[in-house]
Structure 1
Amino acid sequence: MKKSKPSFLGKKYLYTLILLFVFTITFIPSHSFAQDPTGAKTGTLADIDTSAVKTLDTISKAKDSSTAKLAEHISQLASTVHSIGDADGHNKIAINIMWTLIAGFLVMFMQAGFAMVETGFTQKKNVAHTMLMNFLIYAIGMLGFWIVGFAIMFGGSLNPATLGGAPGVSSHEVIIHLFGKDFGIAGTAAYFLNSKVYDVGVFTLFLFQMVFMDTTATIPTGSMAERWTLKSFIVYGFFISMFVYPLYGNWVWGGGWLSALGTNFGLGHGHVDFAGSSVVHMVGGVAALAGAIVIGPRYGKYGKDGSVKTIPGHNIPMAIIGTFILAFGWFGFNPGSTLAGGDLRISIVAVNTMLASAAGAIAALFYMYIKGGKADPGMVANGMLAGLVAITAPCAFVTATSAVIIGAISGILVILVYNFVDTKLKIDDPVGAFAVHGANGAWGVLALGLFADGSYGDGWNGISGTVKGLFYGDYKQFIAQCIGTITCFVFVFVVMYVFFKLLNKVIPLRTKEADEIAGLDIPETGVLGYVD
Structure 2
Amino acid sequence: MDPILTTNNVWMMICTGLVFFMHLGFAFLEIGLTRKKNAINILFKNVFIITSGLLLYALIGFNLMYPGSFNGFLGFAGFGLEAPLANGSLDLSYNSGYTYWTDFLFQGMFAATAATIVSGAVAERMKLLPFMIFTIIYVGLVYPIAGSWKWGGGFLQDLGFYDFAGSTLVHSVGGWAALVAIALLGARIGKFKEDGSSGAIPGHNIPLAMAGVIILWLGWFGFNGGSVLSADPAATSLVLVTTCLAAAAGGVTASIVSTVIYKNMDLTMFLNGILAGLVGITAGADVMSPVDAIAVGAVAGGIVVLGVTLIDRIKLDDPVGAVAVHLFCGIWGTLAVGIFGSLAGWEQFLAQLGGVAVYAFFCLSSSFVIIYSLKKLMGIRVSKKEELEGLDTHEHGMEAYDHELEAYADFSVEH
- For the aligned pair, the TM-score class normalised by the smaller chain equals over 0.9
**Match among 319, 333, 340 for residue 444 of structure 1:** 333
Looking at structure 2, the residues matched to 390 and 105 of structure 1 have their Cα atoms a distance apart, in angstroms, of 22
The answer to whether residue 153 in structure 2 is matched with residue 255 in structure 1 is: yes
Residue in 2 that maps onto 1:27: none
Residue in 1 that maps onto 2:409: none
Looking at structure 2, the residues matched to 508 and 195 of structure 1 have their Cα atoms a distance apart, in angstroms, of 42
Structure 1 residue 192: deviation in Å?
1.1
Residue in 1 that maps onto 2:205: 315
Contact 2:84-2:100 at 8 Å conserved across structures: no
The answer to whether residue 259 in structure 2 is matched with residue 369 in structure 1 is: yes
**Match among 232, 239, 257 for residue 349 of structure 1:** 239
Contact 1:355-1:407 at 8 Å conserved across structures: yes
SS at match of 1:186: coil
Residue in 2 that maps onto 1:519: 390
Instruction: Give a deviation string over 1:273-304, Cα, whole Å, max 9, x none.
Output: 11110011110111111111111111121233
* More contact order relative to length (CA 8 Å, sep ≥ 6): 2
Contact 2:39-2:400 at 8 Å conserved across structures: yes
The answer to whether residue 379 in structure 2 is matched with residue 504 in structure 1 is: no
Contact 1:140-1:234 at 8 Å conserved across structures: no
Looking at structure 1, the residues matched to 260 and 190 of structure 2 have their Cα atoms a distance apart, in angstroms, of 30
Kindly name which structure, 1 or 2, has the bigger radius of gyration based on alpha carbons.
1
Looking at structure 2, the residues matched to 396 and 195 of structure 1 have their Cα atoms a distance apart, in angstroms, of 32
The answer to whether residue 157 in structure 2 is matched with residue 286 in structure 1 is: no
Q: Map of 1:289-438 to 2, 5 A cutoff? A: 289-342=179-232, 344-423=234-313, 425-438=314-327
Contact 1:384-1:411 at 8 Å conserved across structures: yes
- Structure 2 unaligned runs (5+)? 93-98, 404-415
Residue in 2 that maps onto 1:102: 14
Query: What is the identity, as a one-letter code, of the residue corresponding to 1:496?
Result: S
Looking at structure 1, the residues matched to 263 and 81 of structure 2 have their Cα atoms a distance apart, in angstroms, of 53
Residues 143 and 199 of structure 1: CA distance in aligned 2, closer, same or farther (over 3 Å): farther
TM-score, length basis structure 2? 0.92
Identity of aligned residues (%): 41
Query: What is the identity, as a one-letter code, of the residue corresponding to 1:433?
Result: A
SS at match of 1:193: coil
Looking at structure 2, the residues matched to 147 and 390 of structure 1 have their Cα atoms a distance apart, in angstroms, of 31
Instruction: Report which stretch shifted further, 372-381 or 199-208.
Output: 199-208
**Match among 105, 108, 116 for residue 28 of structure 2:** 116
Provide the aligned C-alpha RMSD in A.
1.4
Structure 1 residue 199: deviation in Å?
5.5
Instruction: Give a deviation string over 1:316-338, Cα, whole Å, max 9, x none.
Output: 00000000000000000101101
Contact 2:259-2:266 at 8 Å conserved across structures: no
Looking at structure 1, the residues matched to 384 and 262 of structure 2 have their Cα atoms a distance apart, in angstroms, of 37
Residue in 1 that maps onto 2:39: 127
Instruction: Give a deviation string over 1:426-482, Cα, whole Å, max 9, x none.
Output: 1111101010000001101100111122xxxxxxxxxxxxxx212xxxx11111100
Q: Map of 1:2-401 to 2, 5 A cutoff? A: 87=1, 90-156=2-68, 171=69, 173=70, 175=71, 184-195=72-83, 201-261=99-159, 270-342=160-232, 344-401=234-291
Contact 1:361-1:382 at 8 Å conserved across structures: yes
Looking at structure 1, the residues matched to 358 and 194 of structure 2 have their Cα atoms a distance apart, in angstroms, of 36
Structure 1 residue 195: deviation in Å?
4.5
SS at match of 1:451: coil
- Structure 1 unaligned runs (5+)? 1-86, 157-170, 176-183, 262-269, 454-467
Contact 1:106-1:333 at 8 Å conserved across structures: yes
Instruction: Give a deviation string over 1:376-416, Cα, whole Å, max 9, x none.
Output: 11110000000000000111001111100100000010010
Structure 1 residue 498: deviation in Å?
1.4
Structure 1 residue 345: deviation in Å?
0.9
Query: What is the identity, as a one-letter code, of the residue corresponding to 1:220?
Result: V
Contact 1:296-1:428 at 8 Å conserved across structures: yes
Looking at structure 1, the residues matched to 392 and 230 of structure 2 have their Cα atoms a distance apart, in angstroms, of 44
Query: What is the identity, as a one-letter code, of the residue corresponding to 1:508?
Result: G
Looking at structure 1, the residues matched to 216 and 234 of structure 2 have their Cα atoms a distance apart, in angstroms, of 23
The answer to whether residue 366 in structure 2 is matched with residue 495 in structure 1 is: yes
SS at match of 2:74: strand
SS at match of 1:210: helix
SS at match of 1:340: coil
Residues 343 and 153 of structure 1: CA distance in aligned 2, closer, same or farther (over 3 Å): farther
Looking at structure 2, the residues matched to 394 and 318 of structure 1 have their Cα atoms a distance apart, in angstroms, of 30
TM-score, length basis structure 1? 0.72
Structure 1 residue 259: deviation in Å?
0.5
